[in-house]
Structure 1
Amino acid sequence: MTTEQDWRALAAAARTAQAECRLELAAERAEAAARCADPTGPDYDDIAILAATLLRQDGRAGAAVAVLTQAARHRQHSAALQNHLGLALRAACRHDEALAAFQRAARLDPDNPWAETNVAFSLLRDPIDAGATFAAFTDGADHAGGLGLFCDRFPHTYGFLLQQFQTYLRHFPDCRAYSFGRKVLEPYGRGQFAAAMDAWSAAFPAQAGQVSQLVPALDAAPAQARVTRLRLAKGRDFHRPALAHNIFAMNADLFRPLYEQVGIDFTFTLNPGGGFRLDDAYSDDRLRRVFASPRFQRVIVTYGLTRDYIRHRFGVPDDRITLIPGTIVVENLLMAHRRPKRRFGIDKMTLDICFGGVRYTPTGTDKGYDLFIAAAHRLKDRFPQLRFHVFGDYTPDILDVGALGERIHFYGLQPQSWLAGFYADMDAIVSPNRPHQITRGAFDGFPVTTCIEAAMCGAALFATDPMKLNFALTDGLDYVAIDADAARLAACLESWLTRPDALYALAAAGEQTTRAVWGEAAQMGPRVALFKRLLGR
């Protein structure tokens, strides 16, 4: 007979395994805890949701559905269980059942913003009545031609997305951008667009008039809704483009029904992340639908790995694939805000290494935050003058940093303009990122955008390359290859920190290479030229 102590121990073991990057083991232990937990207990919803989330992240959506279905039998009034059941069903490509679960969640908790968000976007991605859903884009729409940019997040999110939008809007005066302006990892709220747009338009006032807010309006309360009527915010007109473009797989799939209903040919950029995962049923299902669309024209891929995957998995012909290696950074903004480099022993008396990025896992294992902190503990006594710096959504309570005392500093999320100045004091940036942490099949590009920006501003780059994506950097010359082991990472850093002159020479070479390979001219030039060709200009 299983006691409460037993299942709580299993749940604790699951969370420990999750923090240690052992996703499969974490899912197994959480699933076992959910099976034997008391369904009448106050923590039952939490353990069932934990198990389902871990199973889904481990690529076992069917098992996640089974756990939540069983839990819902015992807890018929739990909106949280129904909402997560919808996520599991969606991951299992059971879209109609997922919508029904989201609507049950909304019925049980009418004020739940996640249930309403999931209902609204489910009805956009798989509309029951496409004509009613997109009527505002077919009735009296201005057939203006040109390039159209469609997104769920802009003008929120990362610098590389903002840079692409700004460049396309600048190079194509008849280009228009349409976005929900939804915040990352938050339910949709109409007011989210305005705050981000205020900041973006202040930086790029000339393009502000080319950007419009998309509004998803349900035809009834979320529990009964059958249509999400997509429209533009008041005072804006739709200029139907000759060609639409999306950044990220999830956006290509989200807007595909609009393109097919209204009659718009589209392209998209298939970056790592953004809903694209290797050997994942849901990701593959979305991409299969995108590539099968009669309106699909071209996909930009940023790595040979991605090109080969879609060739073999979906049979995408080479004449529909454009390989432009690398990613986009806001080079012009960085150069405008950077400060002169400060060097150890000349301008400052400290050695400074930093870590940063957005955290998508509980302890930041996807970006390697745990390895950075473990290496910091190993180095602190060897280098009393060494300081550690962390930016992004990381806080001192995520991992134990007490022994580092005042030698570690946390700055929170910061804009690129702030970071450009911050890097002047940084001797190195460390990126021990690992794939398959957020979900099985998820991976980052190389180097991650944050590291390219830091290297452009003169910080030496230390980075893992677990997917073998490197095509431009040379180990020991303009960056240092590291692996996902704290002891070896600390030893590697030590060997360079004892030679500041060599470290600065490494940083100078890295700055030259990153600007040549990932600068605006190198990255945006081919993209602009591609769209000019596709638009016949």
Structure 2
Amino acid sequence: MKFIRLLKKKLKKYFLLIKRFFYKDFFIPFKGIRKNDILVFDDIFPHPISGFRLEEFKVLLNVFKKSKIVIDPTAYSIIKTPIKHHQIHIKEFEIQSGLIKKINLKKGFVNVNTKLFYCVFLHNISINLKWLEKFEIPFVFTLYPGGGFKINEDISDQKLEKVLTSPMFRKVIVTQKITYEYLLEKKLCKKENIEFIFGCVVPQISLSKDLTDKKTYLINKTTFDICFCAAKYTSKGEDKGYDIFIEFAKTIVNRYDFINFHIIGGFNEEDIDVSELKEKVKFYGYQNFDSLSSIFQKMDVLISPNKAFMLGKGAFDGFPLGTVVEAALNGVCVLITDELKQNNAFVPNVDLILIDSDIDSIVKNIINLIENPQKLYLISQNGKEKFIQVYSNETQMKPRIAILLNEIVETTK
């Protein structure tokens, strides 16, 4: 009887394996003959909504000739994009970048023979850790805020400890001062294994925007246009401060009849009642990276009143958000919160305006800009110049490439 039970168990296992093979919903990594210098992994690339991934991974795939990227597009469902669009996005990326046959799906038998593995976000390195250790593949990853990383949260700490104590771990790139200090304070990682590069990678086309047709209050238009731009993770967007933004809009809409409000991202008129704003508010939904520029060039101000720890214990956003960066590069004056004191590059009231995530703070600063338009113009210009400096590939990608190159060299010694 025991033999029969074991036989049935084995047969069931093989049946499931065969079934998965025909449905192609499995992943079997193996070390093939062909060896890459670097293998990149991601869960949303090359979705056009994620501009920083498009730029960073495109640069890496160009710099490292023996390279490829493996994709498991699980994040498509999170941003409500039909999975059938993934193949369309791959074709578009290949045509635009000229990088052909560099993308592999994390399905079926995948050759993972590489000198170095790289990805961004904690959850992406965590789900690949088992086979990286099995095949003894060294790895480097970028620990951005989000993506499973939370401060003083048990599950996050357990994942971090497991990753950072792996025999295959080499370096972690951090982009926020709070992340750097947290890893050291919790003794999760040695200082020599942490590389701090403030900010994130930005599509370089954003740094050379033609702002000839930029619309600006009292220069070539009579309206004062305020926008909010964020993904939706909660019903009322409390983490991004959407609820605060709408209350602010209701507070000030009757004071100035030339103000308009623009909502970009995952929110619509059903999330919070906006009937008081009437024709003064417009919703755009999620926008591809390329579409944001044409919208931002009609805006005067972007408000980002995001709050830390609203998505759960220890959850926080990086400073500034990617949408803030894109807005500033399009000549928009940005008003943003910095509860966790993460600002490491910008001068308040010179390059941008720091606000509290409350209505009074936002109202006060908006009135100041409306009644002092020269301040609006000056901060917009200063901000654009500083953001170009901070987010150039010279500042962002050059040190990243150096880190990866050094680790590849170390693996061949």
Q: Does 1:502 align with 2:378?
A: no
CA distance in 1, matches of 2:77, 2:211: 27
Aligned residue for 1:299, secondary structure, equals strand
Which residue in the other structure is 2:101 paired with?
Answer: 209
Residues 514 and 431 (structure 1 numbering): CA distance in 2 closer, same or farther, change over 3 Å? same
Q: Distance in 2 between matches of 1:163 and 1:517?
A: 15
Output the amino acid matched with 2:62: R
Q: Give 1:245 shift.
A: 0.4
Q: Matched residue of 2:409: which SS?
A: coil
How far has the Cα of 1:311 moved from its partner?
Answer: 2.0
Aligned ranges 1:33-432 → 2 under 5 Å: 134=28, 136-138=29-31, 141-156=32-47, 158-182=50-74, 183-185=76-78, 191=84, 193-204=86-97, 206-215=98-107, 231-232=109-110, 238=111, 240-333=113-206, 335=208, 340-432=213-305
Instruction: Please state if 1:532 is matched with 2:405.
Output: yes
Cα distance, 1:197 vs structure 2: 1.5
Residue in structure 1 matched with residue 6 of structure 2 by the alignment: none
Instruction: Using the TM superposition, give the Cα deviation of residue 208 of structure 1 relative to its aligned residue in structure 2, in angstroms.
Output: 3.4
One-letter code of the match for 1:231?
F
- Distance, in Å, in 1 between the alignment partners of 2:378 and 2:80 is 46
Give the TM-score taking structure 1 as reference length: 0.68
Per-residue displacement from partner, 1:347-385 (whole Å, max 9, x unpaired)? 222111111011111101111111111111111112111
Quick one: structure 1 residues 478 and 186, their matched pair in 2 at CA, closer, same or farther if it must change by over 3 Å? closer
The 3-state SS of whatever aligns with 2:309 is coil
The share of aligned pairs that are identical, in percent, is 29
Cα 1:472–1:334 change in 2 (3 A) is: closer
Tell me: CA distance 1:337–1:260, structure 2 relative to 1, closer, same or farther (3 Å).
farther
* Cα shift at 1:312: 2.8
Deviation at 1:203, TM superposition (A): 2.7
Assess if the C-alpha contact under 8 Å between 1:193 and 1:213 holds in 2.
Answer: no
- Please state how far the C-alpha of 1:498 moved relative to its aligned partner: 1.5
Where 2:282 maps in the other structure, the secondary structure is strand
Q: Note if contact 1:339-1:424 (Cα within 8 Å) is conserved in structure 2.
A: no
- Give the 5 Å matches for 1:511-530: 511-530=384-403
Query: TM-score of the superposition, structure 2-length normalised?
Result: 0.88
**Corresponding residue for 1:227?**
none
Contact 2:50–2:289 (Cα < 8 Å) also in 1: no
SS of the counterpart of 1:332?
helix
Separation of aligned partners in 2, 1:187 and 1:518? 29
Q: Deviation at 1:483? A: 0.2
Cα deviation code 1:488-509 (max 9, x no counterpart)? 2112211111122210111000
> What secondary structure, in the 3-state scheme, does the structure 2 residue paired with 1:149 have?
strand
**Equivalent residues of 1:155, 1:181 under 8 A apart:** no
Question: SS where residue 300 of structure 1 aligns?
Answer: strand
Unaligned runs of 5+ residues in structure 2 are 1-19
Query: Alpha carbons of 1:474 and 1:189: their partners in 2 closer, same or farther (altered >3 Å)?
Result: closer
In 2: Cα distance, 1:413 partner to 1:341 partner: 22
Stretch moving more, 280-289 or 456-465? 280-289
Report the Cα distance in structure 2 between the residues aligned to 1:198 and 1:486, rounded to whole angstroms.
45
Distance in 1 between residues matched to 2:319 and 2:188, nearest whole Å: 25
Q: Deviations over 1:438-496 (max 9, x none)?
A: 11110001111100110011000100001110011111111111001112211221111
- The answer on whether the counterparts of 1:428 and 1:460 sit within 8 Å (CA) in structure 2 is yes
Gaps of 5+ in 1: 1-115, 125-132, 216-229, 233-237
| Aligned-residue CA RMSD (Å) | 2.3
Partners in 2 of 1:187 and 1:261 — Cα distance? 34
The one-letter code sitting in structure 1 at the alignment partner of 2:57 is: F
SS in structure 1 opposite 2:173? strand
Cα gap change, 1:347 to 1:186, in 2 (>3 Å): closer
- Aligned amino acid, residue 152 of structure 1: D
Do the aligned partners of 1:380 and 1:404 also contact (CA within 8 Å) in 2?
Answer: yes
SS in 1 for 2:99: helix
Contact 1:334 1:416 in 2 (8 A): no
Instruction: List per-residue Cα deviations over 1:12-39 (Å, max 9, x = no partner).
Output: xxxxxxxxxxxxxxxxxxxxxxxxxxxx
| Contact kept in structure 1, 2:206 and 2:329, CA below 8 Å | no
User: How far has the Cα of 1:346 moved from its partner?
Assistant: 3.0
- What SS does the corresponding residue of 1:297 show, helix, strand or coil? strand
Change over 3 Å in CA distance of 1:531–1:353 after alignment to 2:
same
More helix by share: 1
1:267 deviation in Å? 0.7
Alpha-carbon shift at residue 339 of structure 1 (Å): 5.6
Native 8 Å contact 1:420 1:457 kept in 2 = yes
Output the CA distance in 2 between the equivalents of 1:194 and 1:145. 23
Partner of residue 491, structure 1: 364
